[in-house]
Amino acid sequence: MSPSDELQNMVTRFAPSPTGRLHIGHGWSALMAHDMARAAGGAFRLRIEDIDGTRSRPEHVAGILEDLRWLGIDWDGDAVMHQSQRLDVYAAALDRLKGEGLVYPCFCTRAEIAAEIAASASAPHGPEGALYPGTCRALSPAQRAERAAQEPHCWRLDMAAALARSGPIRWRDAEQGWIDAHPEQAGDVVLARKDAPTSYHLAATTDDAAMGVTHVLRGEDLRTATDIHALLQTLLGLPGPVYRHHPLLVDASGRRLAKRTGGITLAELRESGADPACLAADLRSGVFPVGISLQHA
């Protein structure tokens, strides 16, 4: 595809988790992804990441759609994609990885993992802390089958086996070009949780491909996830979008904005009488409400 074809067919997306209302950081992120597609004559799509059955709430889904519309964001496509309706698609992707021997069932509880890490002098660490020590990777096929039939388990990617299969991984950054990925820094990540037949990594990767997303714009905190997603794309034969990671917003004390931080949700701003057109214009020019600023790397 030539660079101009790539722009004409651009598809971007916003993929919120309905675990609360959107804050202005989400609004800013959604506006950027929306504007990027609109400027290129492409499509902007919306996906609700509601695989977390305990924390996702239907009222938050409705609230998110309302917040986006209030901010003047429109999305394309007949329907909004809901991950909770696509569990069979994720199961098929997981089956493919199972068939290739690249995932294994893990029976460890959080407490067991913490104890194992504490007891080991050489527990593997990545930039985000201790990694899963690989306890269940060592089980024999017979042990796996026997325990999987009766014990709750998640499915983990066998990172070393996956990388041996894929070879070196890289992804394309919108500004910096090709970036060497190091998914091994995340260890044997979970691809299907004990309480859900998928995980964020598997679902997001599968869905970005299914939605035809060509450009992913998301927060800097998901840079490590991008390394993992690029690996999964290679393993599953999916196209790799171009990525751009934006800085996160922090409050006056330097804390990242969270859904629980008071006073900064789009719903609260609306209730306090904010003009959505002015707010959107401010966010577009990088002007944030008093006390909110970009986190510097």
Site for ligand GLU in 132-171 (CB under 6 A): none
218 binds ligand GLU (CB under 6 A): yes
Q: Residue 204, interface with ligand GLU (CB under 6 A)?
A: yes
Which segment (9-17, 103-111, 155-163, 270-278) binds ligand GLU by CB under 6 A? Answer: 9-17
Q: Which residues pair with 125 in a beta bridge?
A: 130
240 binds ligand GLU (CB under 6 A): no
d(CA 187, CA 23): 31
Out of 17, 199, 233, 265, the only residue in the binding site for ligand GLU (CB under 6 A) is 17
Alpha helices (runs of H) in the chain, residue ranges in sequence order: 3-8, 24-39, 58-70, 87-99, 110-119, 141-150, 159-166, 200-210, 223-236, 266-271, 276-284
Closest CA to 240 of 134, 166, 147, 152: 166
Residues 24-53 touching ligand GLU, rule: CB under 6 A, are: 49
CA separation for the pair 104, 39 (Å, rounded): 44
Shortest gap between Cβ of 13 and ligand GLU (angstroms)? 8
67 binds ligand GLU (CB under 6 A): no
Query: In this chain, which of 16, 63, 134, 241 binds ligand GLU, going by CB under 6 A?
Result: 16
Taking the complex as a whole, the smallest distance from the CB of residue 3 to ligand GLU amounts, in Å, to 24
220 to 239, contacts with ligand GLU by CB under 6 A? 222
Distance between CA atoms of 25 and 297, rounded to whole angstroms?
16
Q: Least distance to ligand GLU from the beta carbon of 165, Å?
A: 24
Residue 171: what residue type? W
* CA separation, residue 195 to residues 86, 153, 203, 287 (Å): 15, 9, 14, 40
3-state SS string for 209-254: HHCCCCEEEEEHHHHHHHHHHHHHHHHHCCCCCEEEEECCEECCCC
Q: Which is nearer to ligand GLU, 216 or 283 (CB)?
A: 216
* Shortest separation between residue 222's beta carbon and ligand GLU, angstroms: 6
d(CA 217, CA 34): 10
15 lines the binding site for ligand GLU (CB under 6 A): yes
Binding segment (CB under 6 A) for ligand GLU, from list 11-19, 70-78, 162-170, 187-195 = 11-19
- How many other CB atoms are there within 10 angstroms of residue 4's CB atom? 9
- Is 257 a residue that touches ligand GLU (CB under 6 A)? no
Q: Which residues lie near ligand GLU (CB under 6 A)?
A: 15-17, 49, 204, 218, 222
